Amino acid sequence: MSKKPRTHQINIAAIQQKCSADKSASLAASEMLIREAATGGAQLIVLQELHATLYFCQTEDTAVFELAEPIPGPTSNRLSALANELNIVLVGSIFERRMNGVYHNTSVVFDSDGSLAGIYRKMHIPDDPGFYEKFYFTPGDARFNDGRSGFTPINTSIGKLGVLVCWDQWYPEAARLMALAGAELLIYPTAIGWDITDEPEEQARQLEAWVTVQRGHAIANNLPVIAPNRVGSEPDPSGHSDGIRFWGNSFICGPQGEFLARADDHSECILTATLDRNRTESVRRIWPYLRDRRIDAYGDILKRVRD
């Protein structure tokens, strides 16, 4: 099927779902929601981080590496076929086995003809209680073999997608580098939640920080943001904690940080919005942050700390 022509309007969807220990069941749930979103007219559909499995990083377990797949592989082939059949651009997530001993948390982007438009390997890898990702994931390459930055947008038939992943969403540098490279959207597939034992006040602060920092990236770069997150409680396999309750609250916002769609903290759902690609240009004419950057004064940003 031919690719859809570029238009000023883009219909987008973000999928918020629960996940299962059964990979086939999780992928079936994703597929059902993808098909529903496509039927509703979505041209771009974004899935959450590690949507095919439970969030296995609550513990360190070498047996988990058996879940990893190469690209191409079973999950990427399934997503590719869906993109082609439904004539959509599809952003998915794969626990990638790159070679023996090298594994990545990888976003895959398939164009509307099913071709692999590009991949993004998560650059910032956390290592915190309940989020032991450094045990599993090698950071993405700072530079590709052809010299491109790791923060390079993925070109598709509906525009240039600045795909980042979860922990990347806390770093303004990542969003800015994607914007400077021509990204038209910022996309943050996510798996984040609460320690079930945290007080409600602390949970509220964490959620508000997560939403606010990403809306800040939208505003600072005059770009829409799509942030799908998972929902549901997942136990700690080790039994050392009460597990994680993923807080959902997936959202889509415009280039001034305005909410276009937002989910609750418990429902599986499809968020939809229509974006006008001309809005970024209009906003940048009145808020010209990129024009006024003092790149001659930012050298110290490359230091770990300033002496």
- Judge whether 49 counts as a catalytic residue: yes
Express each pLDDT in 173-191 by its tens digit.
999 999 999 999 999 999 9
**The tokens 């002496």 sit on which residue?**
307
Q: What is the pLDDT of residues 57-84, one digit of tens each?
A: 999 999 999 999 999 999 999 999 999 9
18, 49, 57, 234: the active-site residue: 49
Q: Check if 122 is active-site.
A: yes
Answer whether residue 236 shows pLDDT above 80. Answer: yes
Tell me the average pLDDT across 221-229: 98
The tens digit of pLDDT for each residue in 20-52 reads 999 999 999 999 999 999 999 999 999 999 999
Give 5's pLDDT tier (boundaries 50, 70, 90).
low
| pLDDT over 90 (residue 234) | yes
pLDDT value of position 6: 57
pLDDT by residue (tens digit) across 125-146?
999 999 999 999 999 999 888 8
Q: Which pLDDT score is estimated for 303? A: 92
Rounded average pLDDT over 205-218: 98
> Considering 122, 234, 253, 269, which one is annotated as catalytic?
122
According to the model, what pLDDT value does residue 148 have? 84
Pick 306 or 111 by higher pLDDT: 111
All domains in the chain, ordered by first residue: 9-292 (3.60.110.10)
- Phi and psi of 275, rounded to 5°? -105, 140
- pLDDT of 1 reads 46
Out of 19, 57, 166, 253, the active site residue is 166
